[in-house]
């Protein structure tokens, strides 16, 4: 389904916009599209403390916004951290804006997170704080371009 734009008219109360019933029907349809986006999971492994290791990639031209819940852990000593990232691409698909909320640490933090767009792909990058192998469990929901 394509995004449905509500016609708000040229001026307030000029009668040229969508009637209320039509506008709210468009709102309901747009929300239905958002709430039916499936959750997916993936696992990535990193080794060494090299910066900007890719743990997730998606085509930028099919990515509008996404939510990611990531658990990064060091299986050798049970150090782990969880983070929730919310992200959206810019209109020209050349950059991504994101915010991250760390929710839980067990032991010592294991990595730092970043996002970018490179070669037409939105990527999640990690810069491990240890040289130990890390496992990154990723649960995500993407809203694709309409």
pLDDT band at residue 123 using 50, 70 and 90 as cut-offs: very high
Nearest 5°: CA angle at 61, between 60 and 65? 60
DSSP lists the bridge partners of residue 57 as 123
What are 28-72's pLDDT values in tens digits? 877 776 666 678 999 999 999 999 999 999 998 888 889 999 999
- Predicted pLDDT of residue 93: 84
- Residue carrying structure tokens 């730092």: 112
Token readout for 48 is 């060494």
pLDDT of 7 above 90: no
Domains of the chain listed by start with CATH number? 1-36 (no CATH), 40-143 (2.60.40.1680)
Q: Are 126 and 111 contacting, i.e. CB atoms less than 8 angstroms apart?
A: yes
Q: Left if phi > 0, otherwise alpha if psi is -120 to 50, otherwise beta: which for 103?
A: alpha
Residue 32 is predicted with a pLDDT of 72
Tell me the mean pLDDT in the region 96-119: 91
pLDDT band with cut points at 50, 70 and 90 for residue 82: very high
Strand 79-89 versus strand 96-106 pairing type: antiparallel
Sequence-distant (≥ 6) Cβ neighbours of residue 98 within 8 angstroms: 85, 86, 87, 88, 115
Work out the pLDDT band at 145, boundaries 50, 70, 90.
low
Are 50 and 111 in contact by the 8 Å Cβ rule? The answer is no
Q: What is the pLDDT of residue 49?
A: 94
């Amino acid at each position: 389904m394509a995004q449905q734009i509500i016609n708000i008219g040229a001026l307030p109360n000029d009668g040229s916009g969508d009637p209320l019933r039509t506008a709210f029907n468009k709102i309901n349809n747009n929300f239905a599209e958002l709430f039916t986006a499936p959750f997916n999971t993936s696992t990535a492994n990193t080794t060494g403390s090299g910066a900007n290791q890719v743990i997730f990639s998606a085509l930028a031209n099919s990515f509008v916004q996404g939510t990611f819940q990531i658990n990064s852990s060091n299986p050798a000593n049970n150090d782990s951290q969880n983070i929730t990232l919310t992200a959206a691409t810019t209109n020209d698909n050349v950059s991504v804006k994101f915010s991250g909320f760390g929710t839980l640490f067990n032991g010592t933090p294991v990595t730092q997170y970043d996002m970018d767009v490179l070669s037409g792909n939105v990527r999640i990058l990690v810069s491990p704080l240890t040289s130990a192998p890390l496992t990154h469990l990723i649960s995500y929901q993407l809203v694709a371009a309409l």
